[in-house]
Amino acid sequence: MTGAESGARAPRCPYTPLTRLDARGLVAGTSASCPVPMTRFIARSADGERTVFLSKPLEAVQPAAFLAEAEFSRYLLGPWILPVVEVAAPGTAAWAAHAYVPALPLPAVLALHGGPLPERTVRALAVALAETLAVLHGQNVTHAGVSPSAVLIAADGPRLSCFGAVRAAAQDGVPRHDAPGLDTGSLPPEQAAGGRPRPLGDVYALGATLAYAATGYTAPELDELPPFLRSLIGRSLSKDPARRPSIAEMIRVLADDPALPSPTGFGPVTRAEAFLGPGWLPPRVIAAIAHQSASVLAAEVAAAT
């Protein structure tokens, strides 16, 4: 007798959405418009004890592929990874829960700031994300999901999410130009054509994401970029992967600021931490992150009472 025949019911998602993460209203008057192949919420558990980012795949995304990427990402190491803490049981509606930290998607941060971010913010973001990708590549893992909306901005630094979005959207060998939820502006051309995601594809996606942070566009003219990014982004966005810089080179160039303390001795553990001190984010962004935190806490209290 099957579970259905015996009246057994599949376990439901234990989290109740509080608000959409990528919808207008998360920040008054703004909307994070860069696509992701999933619907994302801030959600809480039924007992009100746990708050998470809850992701559910778009209808056109294969649930099995979404769950496979989410399950693998539970074991990733990296200083600025947004970890998956729980996934749906096999055979049930697909979802994944990520550890919650008050944070806003990068597109919402630009909307709040009213345009491109300051150089210090962009440099801090660049070094933190590059260091995270360096750790993943050192484990022979390609992120295959870097894009503006995959970057969540918290008060203490960014969190990189959407691991494996390219692989989940369409299998290797299938063109991904029109795959659901993929941001074409940050999609490496070789992956758009159906190629297997590789580390140099992450370099392209990171370059496009940093260009977005600095200008509001994933493929700006080089003279629109701040001087410290022009050469690096120009090479990162090369259609030929062999012409792109390595992640190690990106870190060396981006972290080249003699005014900052050395990461040795009692200094920061990573180069990114030297950039992520007080003042790394514009005040309006800090205020919005604090407002989100207070709103989520109030929603939990209301649910508990």
Whole-number mean pLDDT of the chain? 87
Grade residue 17 by pLDDT with cuts at 50, 70 and 90.
Answer: very high
Give the C-alpha separation, 143 to 135, whole Å: 11
Confidence band, pLDDT 50/70/90 cuts, at residue 96 = very high
d(CA 44, CA 301): 11
Q: Work out the pLDDT band at 23, boundaries 50, 70, 90.
A: low
Burial class (CB in 10 A: 0-12, 13-18, 19+), 299: middle
Candidates 194, 172, 169; CA nearest to 60 is 169
DSSP string, the chain: --TTTTT--PPPPSEEEEEESSSTTSSTT----S--SEEEEEEEETTS--EEEEEEE-TTS-HHHHHHHHHHHTT---TTB--EEEEPPTTS---EEEE--SEEEHHHHHHHHTSSPPHHHHHHHHHHHHHHHHHHHHTT------SGGGEEEETTEEEE--TTHHHHHS-TTS--TT-TT--GGGS-HHHHTTPPP-HHHHHHHHHHHHHHHHHS-SS--GGGS-HHHHHHHHHHT-SSGGGSPPHHHHHHHHT--TTSPPSSTTS-SSHHHHHSSTTSS-HHHHHHHHHHHHHHHHHHHHHH-
* All structural domains of the chain: 15-304 (1.10.510.10)
Section 263-285 average pLDDT: 76
Q: How confident is the model at residue 33 (pLDDT cuts 50, 70, 90)?
A: low
pTM of the model: 0.89
pLDDT in tens, 214-268: 999 999 999 999 999 999 999 999 999 999 999 999 999 998 764 554 444 333 4
CA-CA distance, 122 to 95, in Å (whole number)? 31
Residue with tokens 């007080």: 278
For residue 32, pLDDT beyond 70: no
d(CA 15, CA 98): 11
